[in-house]
Each structure stands twice: as C-alpha cells, then as structure tokens.
Structure 1
Amino acid sequence: MSLYFSHTSESAATFADSLRRKGIEYVRFELPDLAGLSRGKTVPIDHVASYTRNGLNLYGGTVTLDTSSNPIPGTGYNEDINFADCLMVPDPETVSDVPWMAKTARVICDTKWYDGSPQMAAPRTVLKAMLAKAAERGFGVKMGHEFEFYVVDLETRQPLYAGAPIFVTAVTHRHPVLDKLMRVLKDSGVDMITANGEFGPGQWELNFAALDGIAAADRAFVFKNTVKEYLRTEGLLATFMTKPYAHLSGSCSHFHLSLYDLETGKNLFLDEADPDGMSALMKSFIQGILDHAPAAQAIWNPTPNCYRRIRPGTFAPSNVSWGVEDRSASVRIKASKDKRQHLEVRVPSALSNPYLTAASTLAAGLLGVEQQAVLTPQRNGLKEADSSFKKLPTEIHEALAALRADNELTEMLGEAFMKVYTIVKTAEINRLRDEIPAAETAEYFDLY
C-alpha cells in the first residue's frame, strides 16, 4: 500500500477536470490531525491541477498540533526543523461534496516532506502502514466506527431536549435538523444505515456502513467533521467531547473489525464448527487486543476528559475482558456465525481519532495472531461486574505510562508516531493540569 499518492501532470489534470465537469469551483484539501480534526486549505478549481501535481504547501507540524493548536517542542516536526513546510498530496478516491457550501468539494490528503519522504507520524499514514502489515500477512481488514455525540443550542450550550429517551422515535425526530443532517451526510458520501437517540438528552448516534481498509477511517473522518460543521449552520453545536456533563451519559466510539482473506474474500474470523462461530485466528486476535489494551487505552481515550466516562454501570468498560454479545465487556463478540462475524471494541471514546483507533486495535490484534495467543476462557455474567478482571487505566497519565512500557505495540505503531504522540499528549496533560477547574473554585473560594 502506498503511503501517499504520486501524481503525474496527466493524472493531476484528469483529477481537476473531473471536478470541473461536476461544476466544482472550490476544493478543500483536508487532512486529519492528531486528534482527528480536519485541517488544510481551500483551493480554487483553476489551481487544483498544479497543487495536485506538485503538492500543496502547509506548515509541516500541522499533523502534530495539540488540541489547543499548540506546536509542541521536541517532536521533530517543529522547531527541530525550523518549522518547515510539508506538502499535502490529495487522494482522488476520497473526493466528496460539501453540500452546505456552493460548488465545493473536499479531498483527503496525505502529507510528505519536501524530500519526498512521508510524514510517518501523520494518523492516516500510521493506519496505512498498519494495513500494509496486515496485507503482507494476506489479511484484508473490514472496519466500522460508531460515534455518539450531543447536539446542543449554540448559544446556551443546553441539550435539545430533556430526559433519557433512548430509541424513542418521536423524540429522536422532534427537531427537524436530524432529518436534514442525515440527508447532508448521504450527500457527503456517508452511507447512513441507522439513526437514533441515545441515553443522554440531546445525545444522538448515527451509524454508517463498514468499509474495507483506509476507506473506513476516511468515512469516519468525514462523518465527524461534517456533523460538527453542518449543525453550526443550523444554529446548533455538535460535541464529540467524551463527558460534557458531569451527571449525564458519556459519548463513545465503538469500533468494529474483521479480517478477510485477500485472495478469496473469506471472513477469517468465522469457523462454523465453533459454538460461537469464532475461528482460531479470531481468538488469537482478540487475545492480542486484551494483552495490549492497557497501552491502547492511551489512544482509545486520548484526553483527560475521556476518563470521566469510565464509571460503573455506564456501558463504558473499565477492565480487560471479552464476551459473546456482552455489552459490558471491553471486547464484544458479534457472533452472527456467518460472513458478518466480527468483534467490537467498546472502550474508545467519541473524542478518539478514527485512524488511530483502527491502527492501534489492528496492531494489537496482529501481535496476538503472530504469537498464536491463546484466548483466555470466557467467564459467565456481566464482565463489568466482575472485580477479578484486570483494570484498564482510569487516568490518562497511567495509560500513557502503559503505552510507553509496551514495547511490542509501540514497535508495531512506529517510532516516529510514538515519539510525537507521547510528547504531545504529555504536554496536553501538563497544560490542563495547571488550569484551575471551575468546580474547585466553587468548592473552596468563597467558603474557605
């Protein structure tokens, strides 16, 4: 798998002409940063061919900015190289419309340095590298992301309705913007399959179909950024913040995955002779995830706020466990016993980066396959209620320590990415730790 597209003058002109024939006048060159936020530049159609052929210059540290857009020292992407530019290289297979903007399209880009080498810490490149490792072993990867998010009034920051009317159809469609959003997503190239209200007031979950390889994460990237950007045009704010309200449901990103044979297309997670349809390969893959879950926690839950979601009785798993159709387990087996057989990792938060969730899960699973890991026996009962399971880290600094200590997983994910990720996340933790929370001021300032 190529880590970025290489364009000739002819292919660049063909790409631009295909957009021009569709009536496109502006193209948004976009990339996912470390947090999965869309960053980039907008290009008039007359300049698309030249930027496609030569690359579009962009500050080289863009992919490594922290969540407050700070360039963090020591990553190798900033002051170390005099804040040099990189080049954005568009992937023509990712073009989609931006329906709420006139005659505008987006294209997702990879990034490379001026010497032609890829930015190995860029999230999309990290996932491409992992998919290439899977392909070397003959595995194709089918993936799907589910995101929960709150929709609130832009001015008041209050949810659109009260209570916890999960799956109540009338409440779900009480605000007409949900119906508009579903149509906008479809027009953006997102294959919507279900929409429903979640447990929190104004909390929604809109699901889209699984796809093969990088296309799955690309769709998740478009989904998240479309939801946020479009709803603001309707006077609303969508937030994927994991725990925006102290006493309300948190927002997650359940991640679904299966492996298939690249030659035959056969689902390699399926064994029809097994009571739960689980192949030996699937079992080893699951054990790999479990073995490296404490380290992956730092990627699945990438901010301090994410850990406020992990509370008992909230369907936010806090231990290292698996179970067939068990919503309380970290890894839930979707035991359809047919070609749909797959696993679901229920730990990641809505604030996670879809490229990095996929890359870390795939890396852990492949390690289990390589080592022919033996799956620990399934235990009866709700896994979340079983105190004997090993606990996942419940604070981000603990998760980062586990990630640094997991030599096998860090080697799989790559030295360049690991250096950037751990340095940036540590800087974020330290910066936020120095802030005084409003709750502390309310608790102590006046009375004491």
Structure 2
Amino acid sequence: MDKVQIIKYLDDNKIERIKFAFADIDGVLRGKVIHRKKFLEGLESGYGFCDVVFGWDSADVLYDNSKITGWHSGYPDQLCSIDLSTFRTIPWQDGLPFFLADFSNSVSAHAACPRTLLKRMAADCNALGFHPEFAQEFEWFNFKETPQSLEEKEYVRIQPISPGMHGYSIIRPSLYNDYNDDLFTLLRKFDVPIEALHTETGPGVYEAAIQHDDVLQSADQAVLLKTSVKEISYKHGMMASFMAKWNGSLPGCSGHIHQSLWDKKEGKNQFFNPADPDKMSDIMKQYLAGQLHCLPHILPMYAPTVNSYKRLVEGAWAPTTVTWGIENRTTAIRVINTSDKYTRIETRVPGSDTNPYLAMAAALASGLYGIKNKLSLDSPGTVGNAYANKEHKNLPSNLFEATTAMKDSDIATNLFGDDFVQHFCNTRLWEWRQFSKHVSDWELKRYFEII
C-alpha cells in the first residue's frame, strides 16, 4: 500500500492505534504504539526516539564506550522514519497495524542502525546490476516456561516442551498441534511466509525456513519471525529461545543464510553456469571467494554474542574453519547447485542469535567484495569431513578474539565504514567485559571446595 491507501485503510477501519518498531544493534525490536494523529504527522517529519536504544545492551545496561550516544551527548531524540512498504497487521493482536522503521535519515544514529546499513549494502548491489535474493532459516527451542517461572527458577532445570531427540518427527508436532498451526498460519498472515516448519534433533526444538525474497524484505521477515515466534509461544503458555547454544550437551541453533544474485534486466540467476563442472558461474565463484576472504574479519556480525561461539565447535553441525564445499554441511559455506532456479550458497556460520540485518549485510558486502576485486577461490571445495582436515584456517574461537580482529581490520572498515565498525565492535567488547566479570556455576562446582 502507498500512503494514500494506508490512510484510507485507517479511516475505513476507524483505527486509532499504530505500532512500529526498529531493530537495535542486537536485533532486538524496540518500538511504540502511537495514536493515529501522531502517525500521520510523523510521516513527513519522522518520529523522535531517544537514541539510548543504540547506547545500551540487550539488558538495557548503558555502554560506557559508545561515541555515538551516551551521558556525554545527553541521550537526545533522533528521528526515525517509518517505511510504509513494511505495512502489515498483527493477527494475534486484533489486526493492529504494524510498520518497521529505521534511522536512515538521522545523521547521528545512522551508523548504529542495522537496517540502514543493510539498505546501503543493497543499494551497492543494485548499482552493480544485481538483484540480491536472500532467505534465512532459524532453529529455536520451545520450553514449558514463562518469564516469571524462569526468574523464580534462576534459569535452572529449564523444561523443554517435549523430551528426546526427534528431528523431522511427524508425531512430535501433534503434541502441540494448535501451536504448530498458529506458527504456520499466523506468521504467513503477518507477511512472514514460512516455506517449511519441522522439528529438529533435540528436545522441543523447531526449525522454520522463510521463503526467499529481496535482501531487505528477507531481513525484515527474519527479524519479525524471531519476535513473532516469541509472542505466539506466549499465547500457548510457552517460551521460545533463539540462543545459539542453551545447553552444552545439546545441538546449537542455526540461522543459515541462503543467497543468490540475479540479473536485474533479464531475471537470470547469475550464480548458475551449466557449462561449468560444478555449475558455478565466475560471479558465484568470486562472490564465494569474497565471503571466505572476509569471514575472519567480520565474524562478530555472524556470531555476535559470547554464547555464539559455544555453537561453533567440532561435530555440532556448525563450522569451525574457513571452508566451502558442494552440499557439505561441515563447511562454513555450502554450495547448492541443483538447477538454474535453485543454485545458491548457504552461509552456515550464523546462529539463530544473529541480528538478520547485520548478518545479511555481512554476507552481501563480503560477496560483492569478491566480485569487485575479482577474487578467485584459493582452494577446491572440501570433500568429506571439514572438521578432520587440520590444514584449513580456523575461525576465531571467542567473541573477544573475533571482535579484536574486526576492530583492527581494514577490510571491515572498507566494507562498512569506520563509524559503524567502531561502534559495533565497542558493543561487542562491552559484551565480553560483562561476561568476563561473571562467576559461572561451572567455576563454583570446580573450584569452591577443592582449590
């Protein structure tokens, strides 16, 4: 809908409330419900929003190393802009109108806004004559818990909705048929089109694949899926968690990103070449080489939390090395080359804890870096178990190591600009410091008596 159609929709349905939200640096949606009058007035001038949303972490604790905002700036309002093309209604909230917003028109908050960064990468791609087609899939665990019960239990003995390892189970979803129906149906009504929904291996773990779309729309849908699943699970007396690794003895949760580039004029998949032995075009090889080359320099954009790196371990269906392979799920990047329509790459590094805007921006920018610099693949695709080949370059093993590499990287600055890199890396270093001060139950059990 355009502006005129949206206003008519509000008038015809006598709607007085509108909800809008934007993603912060962690991918957490922050927003408000505003009156119709305020909504209409802000369509031209924007909406003032306290820029503390880019000055605190996911627990609302203020950063002490943010240059973009802080006590030194007084935490002023910045203007966010609603994107009218994101209009949808929330089916589990009586059809409340909803929009996504960003800070693309705010000079001060511009560098910290994830959606604004992805818009810039998408524009760069379009300028090269490519249409970026993306899709993200998510795994998450479901629990018989509420925020109150977890608080009372101090996050100990958390109970999944069902026991045992039941990947691709046909019978397990029937235990919560109403929940499954709501996920599939309500998400599609909310314009988050689910391509497939199934159980993964693990107690109470699900996986959903979103249909592919233009990269910005795909990121919008991915961000909304995570929040929507949490809200829908609340309706059923459950909690959904998108932590990368909530339990050390269970599989982690992935957030793989599928991607391809298409010719804007002819609408052809630029990754497919039927004459190549692997059906990979030169553009695809350059794009793939760019992602591999940049991966160690921008890893925190794929693995943004301390917990992310608990998933990136050998034998856990997650990569540990800078590798690629054809239909190989032990590598960082999996090439899928079945046909012209479906040839694509799957970046397997991201977990479900990613901020989709930043993860997709990282994937697209690094792929385009390979095309612009005509990079070639340094090594053939890995055949067999990538974990067993010790010659491959290892990924950084923790958030501090990965963030330090990114903060000092000219490649990261070249891709995203110094303002974003410094702000984002400072937030990740803050995250590491918060973790480093914490005394874990592992330390208590190991050292309390015996040392």
Q: 2:402: which partner in 1? A: 399
SS at match of 2:226: helix
Q: Is the 8 A contact 1:26 1:103 kept in 2?
A: no
Matched residue SS, 1:140: strand
Q: Give yes or no for contact 1:78–1:84 (8 Å, CA) kept in 2.
A: no
Q: Partner of 1:126 in structure 2?
A: 117
Query: What are the residue-to-residue correspondences of 1:126-165 with 2, within 5 Å?
Result: 126-154=117-145, 155=149, 157-165=158-166
Secondary structure of the equivalent of 2:243? coil
Deviations 1:369-415 (A, max 9, x none): 11111112224322222111110111111111221233123221122
Pairing of 1:336-355 with structure 2 (within 5 A):
336-355=338-357
Match of 1:8 in 2: none
Is contact 2:140–2:242 with CA below 8 Å preserved after alignment? yes
2:58 aligns with 67
TM-score normalised to structure 2 length: 0.93
Aligned to 1:3: none
Contact residue 306 and residue 398 of structure 2 kept, 8 A: yes
Distance 1:421 1:285 in 2: 24
Output the amino acid matched with 1:158: Q
* SS of the residue 1:131 aligns to: helix
Distance in 2 (CA, whole Å) between partners of 1:379 and 1:316 is: 15
Superposed structure 1 runs of 4+ greater than 4 Å apart:
11-14
Q: How much is the aligned-residue C-alpha RMSD, in angstroms?
A: 1.8
For the 8 Å contact 2:81–2:105, the answer to whether it is kept is: no
Partner of 1:173: 174
| Aligned partners of 2:78 and 2:109 also within 8 Å | no
- Select which of 335, 338, 358 maps to 2:337: 335
- Counterpart check, 1:418 vs 2:421: yes
2: CA distance between counterparts of 1:17 and 1:390? 57
| Mapped partners of 1:202, 1:21: distance in 2 | 43
- Distance between the aligned counterparts of 1:407 and 1:30, measured in 2? 33
Q: Equivalent residue for 1:100?
A: 92
Cα distance change on mapping 1:12 and 1:82 into 2, 3 Å:
farther
* Greater Cα shift, 75-84 or 24-33: 75-84
Task: Return 5+ residue gaps in structure 2 as ranges.
Answer: 151-157
Distance of 2:9 and 2:388 partners within structure 1:
56
In the superposition, relative to structure 1, how do residues 172 and 23 fare at CA in structure 2: closer, same or farther (>3 Å)? farther
How far apart, in 1, do the equivalents of 2:212 and 2:247 lie? Answer: 30
SS of 1:319's equivalent in the other structure is coil
Q: SS at the partner of 1:205?
A: strand
TM-score, normalised to structure 1's length? Answer: 0.93
1:6 matched residue in structure 2:
none
Say which is worse superposed, 137-146 or 171-180, in terms of deviation. 171-180
* Residues 1:383 and 2:386 are matched in the alignment: yes
Name whichever of 20-29 and 127-136 sits farther off: 20-29
Identity of aligned residues (%): 29
What pairs with 1:216-235 in structure 2 (closer than 5 Å)?
216-235=218-237
Q: CA deviation at 1:20?
A: 3.8
CA distance in 2, matches of 1:24, 1:88: 22
2:161 corresponds to which letter in structure 1? L
Partner SS for 2:186: helix
8 A contact 1:16–1:45 mirrored in 2 = no
Secondary structure of the 1:248 match is coil
CA contact (8 A) 2:259 2:346 kept: yes
Q: Structure 1 unaligned runs (5+)? A: 1-10
SS at match of 1:48: helix
Q: Distance in 1 between matches of 2:163 and 2:5?
A: 51
Distance 2:366 2:401 in 1: 19
SS of alignment partner, residue 228 of structure 1? helix
Structure 1 residue 80, shift from structure 2 partner: 3.8
